[in-house]
Amino acid sequence: MDIVFLDQNKWIKLAQVHSGRTTSGPMAELFPQLVAAVQRKRVLFPLSVSNIMETAKRNDPDSRRHVAETQAILSLGYAHRSRAGRMAVELRAAIQWRFGVEPVTMPPNWAFASKAGASALRTSPSIFDAGLTQRSLGRRTSTSSTKRWLHLAILSTS
C-alpha cells in the first residue's frame, strides 16, 4: 500500500470536487480514482495534526464539513502519530538494542494511528514495558522508575 501525504491546499481542492463545487478539470478526474484506490487498499492518505487543526479552523461550516468528509474518505481515519509517540517507540528500540534485548518488531506503517484524534495520536505508556526488565538493565531498578526515566528522556527531546 502506498502512503501519500497531502498538504492542506490539496485537501481543499479535493473537497471542492467532493462537494460538487468543482465539476471539471484535473482534480475532478482524479478524485474518483483516488477514492477507488483507497477502497481497494492500494493507497492511504493519512492526516497530520496540522491537517486536522487547519480543517477545524475553517470559518465556513459547509466548507469545513466538506473538507472533513473528504479527509475521512481518503484517510480512512488514519493519522500520523505524534512526534512524541514516534520517538517513544524509537527510543525503546534503541535502549533495547543497547542492552542486548532484541527490539520488538513493529508492524508495517506503525507510525500511523487509526481513528484520528488526540488519544489515537499518542503512544500508550505500556509501550515501555516490552523487553525492559530489571535483569536486562543490569541493575536493580524498579519498572516504575525505569518508565519515569524514559518518560523524562522523551520529554527532554521534544
The verdict on 143 and 104 lying in the same domain is: yes
Looking at the structure, do residues 34 and 20 belong to the same domain, yes or no?
A: yes
Of 80, 113, 141, the position where a domain reaches its end is 80
Give, as one character, the DSSP assignment of residue 40: T
Final residue of a domain: which of 59, 80, 101?
Answer: 80
- Domain membership of residue 126 as a residue range: 83-157
- Residues 95 and 143 grouped into a single domain: yes
For the chain, the straight-line distance linking the first and the last C-alpha, in angstroms and rounded, comes to 30
Q: Are residues 72 and 113 in the same domain?
A: no
* Lowest-confidence region among 16-20, 77-81, 152-156: 152-156
Q: Residues 7, 75: one domain?
A: yes
Q: Distance (Å, rounded) from C-alpha 70 to C-alpha 45?
A: 11
What separation in angstroms does the CA of 135 have from each of 36, 120, 139, 140, 142?
51, 32, 7, 8, 10
- Work out how many domains the chain is built from and give that number: 2
CA distances 129 to 93, 126, 156, Å, are: 12, 5, 20
Indicate the pTM of the whole model: 0.63
- Does the pLDDT value for residue 53 go beyond 60? yes
